Amino acid sequence: MIKLGKALLLTSLLATSTVVAADKEYTKVDRIKDMITMAGGMDEIQKGLLYRCEDGKCIKKGADSIKAVLVNLEKVDPNDFLDKDQQYAHKFSKKRQIMLWMYINEMLDELRDKNMDAVAQNYGLALRECTSCHMKLRPTKK
Ligand code: HEC
């Protein structure tokens, strides 16, 4: 699924590269790229939970890549990346971002305490934030 996302991203990058270069507006292409980064981060965290990466390395790596996207999104008005028919979800989107930030940080705190049960719980809560947004904003993609 991620491979497909990359292929789609590449096609759209090729199609819109001049537009993207001309202005620094946060586009749909940027959004997909950030989403794929976050999905990769969630994969890393899951890997850390299932295979127990050394010293929680995978979990930290995954959390870092998700946080980098969230920091980036902080500078973006959700109106810039929500489609016209999604603008009603402005507040909802901001809240999902804040909650994600909170769960990822809590997960890292628990990792420091080696409380793996709580790490897994926060991972699950973070995943729910992703899917909650997707269910609301991607109704056509079931
Ligand atoms: C603020 C709402 C919101 C949150 C929170 C959110 N997403 Fe998304 N995500 C979207 C939207 C909207 C799309 C559809 C993008 C499009 O098609 O333009 C999407 C698309 C995706 C895609 C598909 C990309 C593609 O190639 O089509 C993946 C993967 C993804 N998100 C992963 C995640 C993960 C992982 C998280 C949580 C860490 C997350 N998302 C959190 C709104 C959100």
| Residue nearest atom 28 of ligand 1, based on CA coordinates | 35
CATH number, domain with residue 122: 1.20.120
Structurally, the chain folds into a number of domains equal to 1
Q: Given a cut of 70, is residue 65 above it in pLDDT?
A: yes
Is 18 a member of any domain? yes
Is 30 a member of any domain? yes
Q: Which of 29, 46, 134 has most ligand 1 atoms within 8 Å of CB, for mutation? A: 134
Is 77 a member of any domain? yes
Q: Given a cut of 90, is residue 128 above it in pLDDT?
A: yes
pLDDT for 62 equals: 98
How do residues 9-64 score in pLDDT, each as one tens digit? Answer: 444 433 333 333 444 778 888 889 999 999 999 999 999 999 878 889 999 999 99
Q: Quick one: what percent of the chain has pLDDT higher than 70?
A: 80
Q: What is the CA radius of gyration of the chain?
A: 16
> Please, are residues 119 and 110 in contact by the beta-carbon 8 Å criterion?
yes
Is 142 a member of any domain? no
Q: Given a cut of 80, is residue 138 above it in pLDDT?
A: no
Q: Given a cut of 50, is residue 67 above it in pLDDT?
A: yes
Burial of residue 41 (CB within 10 Å: 0-12, 13-18, 19+) is: buried
pLDDT for 140 equals: 62
56: nearest Cα among 98, 125, 118: 118
CA 36/CA 2 separation, integer angstroms: 7
| Residue nearest atom 1 of ligand 1, based on CA coordinates | 93
Read off the pTM: 0.82
- Residue 74 belongs to what domain range? 2-137
Q: Given a cut of 90, is residue 107 above it in pLDDT?
A: yes
Residue 5's SS3 state is helix
Q: Tokens 């709580």 map to which residue?
A: 118
CA 123/CA 70 separation, integer angstroms: 16
Is 94 a member of any domain? yes
DSSP-H helix ranges across the chain: 2-22, 28-51, 57-74, 78-81, 90-112, 116-137
| Stretch 59-75: mean pLDDT | 94
CA 10/CA 133 separation, integer angstroms: 24
| Residue nearest atom 43 of ligand 1, based on CA coordinates | 133
Is 96 a member of any domain? yes
| Stretch 63-67: mean pLDDT | 98
Atom of ligand 1 nearest to the CA of 5: 26
pLDDT for 11 equals: 41
